[in-house]
Amino acid sequence: MNSQKVEIEALQILDKFEELQELTPSADWDQSLMSRIIQSKQSTRSKIYLSSLSVLVVLVILFNAGFVLKTVINSDSRTVSHMEEYHTLSKELFINQIPNN
Amino acid sequence: MLEDSILIEKVKAGNRSAFNELVGLYRNRVINTCYKFLLDKENAEDISQEVFVEVFQSIKSFRGDSKLSTWILRIAVSKCLDEIKKRKRKKRVSSAFKKVHLEDLANWLAGGTTPEKLLSGKEDMKKIIKAMDTLPDNQRIAFTLSKVEGYTNTEIAEIMKTTIIAVESLIYRAKKELIRKLEDILKNV
């Protein structure tokens, strides 16, 4: 194909694009739009519900963690020696002789 | 017909008939804008509906800095560009034109056009899409909008947030580049 022919054909293709006929929306376009809007409303509602539910869950977890932390801090942590443990165990198991070392 | 500001307030207040009026006012323009960008009827209808869903959802955030029409058409352009990017990713451009729509077939049966003409038309559109895909976004937007009925360069400049001179230059460069690209495509056929 020579270059002049190619140029003319390119211009013709471009003309076709420029002269594209206007589109008339299909008969069910409005109805379809309305159902999409209703769907979007519902999904917005469920998003709000889900986000408030997740906030609630996070709050419960935080409250629970705080409670556990508080209990741990407040509980008296006293160290028990090995001898004391032996004594307690021996008493429970009715053993009279306990090693001295 | 309601004035824009009154219409906006009514839509913001959730007035359904006001929203229907807004859709009626801009429907054809939005659909045809999408059609020129996407060159596929079904796709254009689908995206134009997405545009109005977005309008419905975000009308409350519309502050009136620009005209209502400019705001709506900006949404339309942005949705179309997103769709084009999706298409490019999925490489669906060619497959979208492989199917012969029923209405085209009906048109042919009614004697409107021959299948050869129909196919050649689709082939030409494929070439246009291929050439368009090589354009930078701003050239593509300016050129495409300039080919949709009813758009003035002033309005295109408002939509693109640029000057009229810049729009004219973008259209000129886009046309030049499209012709060059189409010539390349035709030479390689």
Find, in chain B, the residue whose alpha carbon is nearest to that of A5. Answer: B183
A78 touching chain B per CB within 8 A: no
User: Which of B32, B33, B117 is the best mutation test for A, with the most CBs of A within 10 A?
Assistant: B32
Rounded CA gap, A18 and A51, in Å? 48
Q: Name which of A56-60, A96-100, B180-184 the model is least confident about.
A: A96-100
Quote the pLDDT of residue B100: 47
Residues of B in contact with A26 (CB under 8 A): 45
Local confidence band at A72 (pLDDT 50, 70, 90 cut-offs): confident
pLDDT at B92 over 60: no
B100: Cβ contacts below 8 Å, ≥ 6 apart: B115, B118
Task: Indicate the domain borders of chain B.
Answer: 1-93, 133-189
pLDDT at B111 over 90: no
A89 touching chain B per CB within 8 A: no
Find, in chain B, the residue whose alpha carbon is nearest to that of A33. Answer: B49
pLDDT at B129 over 80: yes
Distance from A56 to chain B by nearest Cα, in Å? Answer: 26
What's the half-sphere exposure (Cβ side, CA atoms, 13 Å) at A96?
0
Quote the pLDDT of residue B2: 63
Q: Name the nearest CA neighbour of B79 among B112, B123, B37.
A: B37
A20: Cβ contacts below 8 Å, ≥ 6 apart: B35, B36, B39, B147
- B150 backbone φψ class: left, alpha, beta (φ>0; ψ -120 to 50): left
Tell how far CA B39 is from the center of its chain.
8
B25 touching chain A per CB within 8 A: no
Are the Cβ atoms of A30 and B35 closer than 8 angstroms?
no
Are the Cβ atoms of B45 and A3 closer than 8 angstroms?
no
Rounded CA gap, B45 and B31, in Å? 6
Instruction: Provide the CATH topology of domain B133-189.
Output: Arc Repressor Mutant, subunit A (1.10.10)
- For CA atoms B128, B82, B5, A44, the dihedral sign is positive
Q: Which two tokens stand for residue B178?
A: 């499209």
Are the Cβ atoms of B182 and A33 closer than 8 angstroms?
no
Q: Please list, residue by residue across A34-48, b when 16 or more beta carbons sit within 10 angstroms of its beta carbon and e when fewer do.
A: bebbeeeeeeeeeee
Average pLDDT in the A32-45 region? 87
Q: Is the domain covering B1-93 a CATH 1.10.1740.10 domain?
A: yes
Highest-confidence segment of A20-29, A42-51, A90-99: A20-29
A13 touching chain B per CB within 8 A: yes
pLDDT at A51 over 80: yes
